[in-house]
Structure 1
Amino acid sequence: MALDPQRGFFITLEGGEGSGKSTQARRLNVLLRRMGRDVVLTREPGGTTHGEAIREMLLSGLIRPFGSEAEALFFAVARREHVLHLIRPALEEGQVVVCDRFADSTRAYQGVAGVPQETILRLEEIALTGTQPDLTLILDIDPAVGLARAAGRSAADRFEADELALHEARRHAFLAIAKAEPERCVVIDASLTADEIAAQIEAAVGARLPRATGTS
């Protein structure tokens, strides 16, 4: 589907724990602003007052006892709020939205945990209301390496604390998404240094952003 040149551009960063998504989202925000773009930097779950409250509930493990389907529901509630009140309005104003995690994380995390694909896709349809990323950067890293990185920054959240096999399954799920949707997704080697990862991202964004916004 052709992109509307009057609309903004929606970039999401996905990947496993410790892959550097948050760091690279911040760096991309700075890069785009230096390029003269009007940028909104956000994250999931979160981005709005209600979304941040749901984030705390999810990452603390409060929802975990109710099962993966319940977690998927909470992610969908937060995502719909995020899309309707922050992401879509920004795109309608022609801004570039950079989001640390989005719907692919639910596909990978809750999908691997056993939530049926039809349930995930239905929740996605309700939450996204037609708003899809223009470019998804999947930061790929060996889960053992990523978890070692994550361990040095803070106490493990509800998802970081899962067993290694589950993290490996999530990695495969993200790579499967990238393979299935190559026009949207670009896989980034996140085993490199932060500067090298940023260079890959700059190249990927630079190759797509001008065409999407109708600039030369």
Structure 2
Amino acid sequence: MTGDGVLAQALRYLNDPLSWTAPGGILDLTGQHLVMSVLAALLAAAVALPLGAWLGHAGRGAAVVVALSNTSRALPTLAVILLLATAGLFGDTATVLAAALFAVPVLLVGAYEGVRGADPAARDAARGLGMPGGRVLWQVELPLAVPLLAAGVRTAVVQVVATVPLAALAGGGGLGHVIAFGMGTQRYGQVLAGGLLVAALCLVVDGLLALAQRFAVPRPLRARAAATAAR
């Protein structure tokens, strides 16, 4: 089969309304994909953000953060999903847990570096006013950490969206089902279409999060970052 033939099949698949609207079609699979991505991102954030913020505030745990980050890069995602499957966790559940596992280090590093890198003068001023540690973290360090926190969330969520297609290899849903079905039936145009759909979804999510990141960062911090970049 030629490359042109595969591309033509992919375009034909994507232009077929039934591919989108049929039960179990692209729209249904995209919904499943997004639900799994949101669950994985929320699970990772619930663990990583409080821990990273606390470690950054306490000024401890740099070695733990680095070790977790390096370990996550060494573990293959598919192997983790299959390992969870052997433990009785199949499909969507295994994928959500695996994607969350790999998102934790990204969020952890962003929270740790953001809080740890907060302006020391602002931190000292807050302590000089008699603020307890919890208020310093919540009212001073976390607002100043928003740029790195937002960047970490953006990176982690896009990574999760790109990882979720592996669910299809463990009996799960999501857009990976388009790719897996195409491979199983040797419809390589559908495989290409599935890859394009996943890539497009990642780009859309990244673009939306980029806008959210811009609005989440306070204007004075944006101005300071722009001035620093212009130097």
Asked if Structure 1 and Structure 2 have the same fold, meaning a TM-score greater than 0.5 normalized by the shorter chain, the answer is no
Give me the TM-score of the superposition, normalised by structure 1.
0.33
Which one has the largest radius of gyration? 2
Larger RCO, structure (CA 8 Å, separation 6 or more): 1
- Give the structure with the higher percent strand: 1
TM-score for both structures, normalised by structure 2 = 0.31
